[in-house]
Amino acid sequence: MRLSQELAEWLQESARKAGVPQGRIVRDQLEKARAASRRQAFLKLAGSVRGARDLSLRKGFSRP
């Protein structure tokens, strides 16, 4: 993976301060990006469900 000089310096400095390998920082950031993209994919479904806005109005869910 090729990084810009600025990004490579940031990565090196961050790894030094945290006392962890640079690879761990890269993996952690990739995992965060993957999790965020999964959340975005889920949020695309928001509002796509049809039916009563209030579940208490749904047939079979009302109380006598």
Average pLDDT on 16-41 reads: 89
**Does residue 13 sit within a domain?**
yes
- At 35, the pLDDT band (50, 70, 90 cuts) reads confident
Domain that holds residue 27: 5-39
What is the per-residue pLDDT for 4?
95
Average pLDDT on 28-35 reads: 90
**Which position has the higher pLDDT, 27 or 51?**
27
- At 36, the pLDDT band (50, 70, 90 cuts) reads confident
**Does residue 58 sit within a domain?**
no
- Tally of domains in the chain: 1
3-state secondary structure of 16: helix
What is the per-residue pLDDT for 28?
94
**Does residue 44 sit within a domain?**
no
> What pTM was estimated for this model as a whole?
0.56
Residue 16 burial (10 A CB sphere; 0-12, 13-18, 19+): exposed
**Does residue 16 sit within a domain?**
yes
**Does residue 20 sit within a domain?**
yes
Q: Using an 8 Å Cβ cutoff, are 36 and 29 in contact?
A: no
